[in-house]
Amino acid sequence: MTNHPVISNASKKNRTSFIKIALLGSAALSFSVPAAFAQESAAEDAEAINKLDTIVVTGSRATIQNTIDLKRTNSSIVDGLSAKDIGDLPALSIGEALESITGAASHRENGGATEISIRGLGPFLSATTFNGRVATNGTGDRSVNFSQFPSELMNKLAIYKTQDASLIEGGVAGLIALETLKPLDYNQRRVQFNLTGNYNPDQQNIDNTMAGDLGYRGTLSYVDQFELGGLGQLGFSIGGQRSDISQPEQEMRSSSPSGTSLFACIADATDPDSRGYAASSSGDCEDQGPNSSNNDGYNTTIDPETGLAVDDGLDYAWAGSSRGYRQNDTHDTRDSLFTALQWQPNDRLDINADLQWSERVQNEDRHDLNFSNMKRSVAGDTLDSLVFQDNGVVQSITTQSDIESNGEIYERTEEYLGYGLSGSFDVTDKLTISADYSFSETTRDELQASIRVSSQGGPGSGGRENLSWARDGDGFVNYTVQDFDVTDISNYTDGVRLRVDRDAERRNTVEAIRFDAEYDLGMGPITSVETGFRLSDLEYVSYAATRDEYNASDFDSSSVPCETGFAESGFLSSASDALVTQIDSDGNVVSTTNTWAVFDNQCLVDYILAENGETSLVYPDSDPDSLDNTNVLETTLAGYVMANYDTSLAGKPFSGNFGLRVVDTKVKSLGNRTPVAVITNPVDGTLSLETDGDAVVLFGKGEYTEFLPSFNGTLELRDDILLRAGLFRGMSRADPGNMTFGRDFNENNEEDAPTTIEELISVEGSGNPNFQPLMSWNYDIAAEWYPNDDSILAASIYYKNFTGGFENSTVLEDFIIDGATVTLPVSVTATNEDTAALYGIELTASHNFSYLPGLFSGFGAKVSLNLAESDFEFEDSLYGDLGYRDADGNLIQTNVGILQPGNVPGFSDVVASGQIYYQKGKFDSSLIYKYRSEYFQPYTSNGTRLRYVGDVGVWEARASYDLTENLSLTVSGINLFNAPKEQYFFTNDNLGEVNYYGPRVFFGIKGKF
């Protein structure tokens, strides 16, 4: 056994420091020259403008000009992207576009940007609106999957860093606003198409793919306006897109901490109980000890005699159930339709109707090489070979394991439907009223058929194979296997099994009505007053996963069915030249490989089903009685009043708004509990519990009322220099998936002879309908300099004071058992009154070098940087500091953890982006870099376990050339240098999963008529 100090990941820290210095330095350099020329060039520019006709700016430069104008003209602190035309947003998806905005960063799945964090704060702390309405998703949280929406059908994205009383509540970090154009505001006819091909280099290495070698995206839109004579004006727009692409993925994987498959096993020969790797017999390390039935790993429970953890001082090592690799064949299709109708019968009435629909289907054909017994401790071998760090991260180990060639057929279907009807009416010259009805719904279904075929029996204990694994300098895991050829299909014949799962069936709906009024006072510093209310119902329904299982006879090694070739060349070659090394009994190398023997998944599914008398693959229905089902209804009534002002301060123009928003929320949660009957022993009167009948339906509830004041002010020091200040109280609600009301009844083992129901029953709670929101006071100060239409230099300092961490709390709940009401304690996760702070600085700079001579005049640049710090603490629910708040409100600590707490979910202390663009004549190009430091990313299925996503920097590029006034050629690429996504389990250096997506290239033609 070798115990090493914790590796500090110095290379990562140095890289982060370098990026900070480089970005700040480049920002300073970019503006040192323009600043020197500012006074001189201003007069020259004015003279030139008088001599020239109006110049129409297009492309990258126009987008940046619109972005600067969006920031400059807003009363709040806002960053965004704006384009005049549909399809002109400079990105391949909404996610990619958003993460180019100052302070925004994405979480990546399937190689693309999905959830967005603002100022390093996770998506659950922000809110998203679509045309001013709340957007739904299919995950059970409040984030939005931005890959669901095509950027080609949007024309404005904005992130409100400060908020006013009229904005929909829900974003402590900020509010993301997505907008499509209004056809009458567009004021011209336009037919536009965009046909784009997709070439993924890694896809070319895969044979017989579902998506083919090339993918495509086709977009068509039409905008027009019509005069209706005495009926006013009518505007109409419609846009549709069909996307059919691949999303290749290569993966190193291991058991995650989301369930019960990753443990801190004792790795200490001095352990008096000889548990874990020190056990005298072979077995799974967490089951080696006197309490093996209770997963006898490292015990963090407080010893009352010492006040420390029971196992304080003992060495431990992290051990997961399995490890391996995954090769993926993917196919991703998306159909989208957006349409809008705008009618203005006269100059006082404006009526708008709009609809958005999107359906995305993801299919994956997966092949896994799985080492399934990675918790295995071999007496006399494993402990001596084990090399691990002080924090339990294993560097190498020798053990025994079954080796499996597994497969999965996976499908996810997600459909979004949103529509609304709104109207605005000028009652008088001073009074305007408006109303809005909106509906948004997302459904998600996930289906999976999983196949297991195991090795046939090796020389090790229980027929397992002898092997070892070790990490390289980057934490990547490679294997050495003795006398076993992973590429020989005849080695996989045992344990043949098919699991057919309905993994998810979810529906998230938001329906709302809104009424607003604005009165123009027309005098004094208060220019107008706004007021309104919004009533909304959010419903989230999620059925627990269901499964059917089929077993089949072992294969004959001489005639294994459904063999097929390994489909991908160069698999994981970016990470390792030899994933698996085969040695003989003397340690001599026999072969090395990055492939393994695989089965045709559909063929093997049919084979197993046929052996079980089934003719086709049918997925199981959902179980309405499952205790893990979710049915949450959240009703919110919010009202506000806000005053807009325009006055002077110290002789300078000073404008903005102040107001108050009041939010009243009521939650109803429908759940199930275990059906039980209480049995009384007629001899001694003791009680026992018996499961009986169908699940019992429960109703839980919660409520809260919050007051959210806000203030925004802008001081115009000069025409080109603005000072801003913002203050608001924000709230972020608990995810709907955390407000379930499932309750599981069990016999209380601590009572030997219970005589009352309270002594007999212990309750395990799932979810908390009365989950209170996390609140925050937010303070922002910003300075902005606008030398010209192409340039901005802005800095913001912000501070957030949070109230509310997360802890286990004991609450008393009433249950009806055998006709009588019984009050029982239940432990649930709840928001506490702890406080935490976050502070940071944002820098934004943009400039066009049009004053340079010749070809150099086409260059421009934009950089943004967000640096933040926070003292928020999030404890892991297995190995963190644990406790509960009793019914009297006292905090009782029960466990001393071995893990450092995580920060705010999604928090990155560094977020940065840089763009250099060149636009000259008909040619337009950009090179973009985006960086995000590591962050804590909770699992959707279990948000209480620590998982970190490593820091990543991604390069993108795009270019276009105008063939004519109406036609242009385009090419763009993302993830140009194949930056992987790295995930770390429990600690930020325990690499558990790596995903390589490869670069992706898009090329096409765009037309506007």
DSSP 199-268: E-GGGGGBSS-SS-SEEEEEEEEEEEEEE-GGG-EEEEEEEEEEEEE----EEEEE--TTSS-EEEEE--
Mean pLDDT of all residues belonging to the chain: 88
pLDDT at residue 746, as a whole number: 83
Residue 257 binned pLDDT confidence (cut-offs 50, 70, 90): confident
Percent of the chain with pLDDT over 70: 92
**Close Cβ partners of 47 (under 8 Å, ≥ 6 residues apart):** none
Does 669 score more than 90 pLDDT?
yes
In angstroms, the CA 734 to CA 738 distance is: 7
Does 567 score more than 90 pLDDT?
yes
Q: Rounded mean pLDDT of 397-403?
A: 94
More confident residue, 228 or 888: 228
Residue 750 binned pLDDT confidence (cut-offs 50, 70, 90): low
Phi then psi dihedrals of residue 15, to 5 deg:
-65, -45
The class that CATH gives domain 708-1008 is mainly beta
Residue 242 binned pLDDT confidence (cut-offs 50, 70, 90): very high
Q: Which of 245, 94, 231 is nearest to 155 (CA)?
A: 94
Does 43 score more than 80 pLDDT?
no
Q: Reduce the DSSP state of residue 278 to 3 states and report it.
A: helix
pLDDT at residue 128, as a whole number: 87
Q: What is the pLDDT of residues 156-180, one digit of tens each?
A: 888 899 999 999 998 888 888 888 8
Residue 941 binned pLDDT confidence (cut-offs 50, 70, 90): low
Give the H or E element holding residue 679. strand 676-680
Strands (E), 54-141: 78-82, 104-109, 112-118, 126-130, 133-134
Residue 121 binned pLDDT confidence (cut-offs 50, 70, 90): confident
Q: What is the pLDDT of residues 633-652, one digit of tens each?
A: 999 999 999 999 999 999 99
Q: Hunting for tokens 């600590």 — which residue is that?
A: 893
Work out the number of other CB atoms within 10 angstroms of the CB of residue 699.
11
pLDDT at residue 720, as a whole number: 94
pLDDT at residue 566, as a whole number: 97
Both tokens of 56, joined, read 């129409």
Query: Distances from the Cα of 474 to the Cαs of 17, 99, 326, 563, 989, in angstroms?
Result: 19, 27, 19, 34, 10
On whether the CB atoms of residues 519 and 429 are closer than 8 A, the answer is no
Does 109 score more than 90 pLDDT?
no
More confident residue, 429 or 834: 429
The segment with the largest mean pLDDT, out of 531-535, 881-885, 892-896, is 531-535
CA atoms within 13 A on the CB side of 801: 5
Q: What is the pLDDT of residues 945-979, one digit of tens each?
A: 899 999 999 999 999 999 999 999 999 999 999 99
Sequence ranges of the domains in the chain: 708-1008
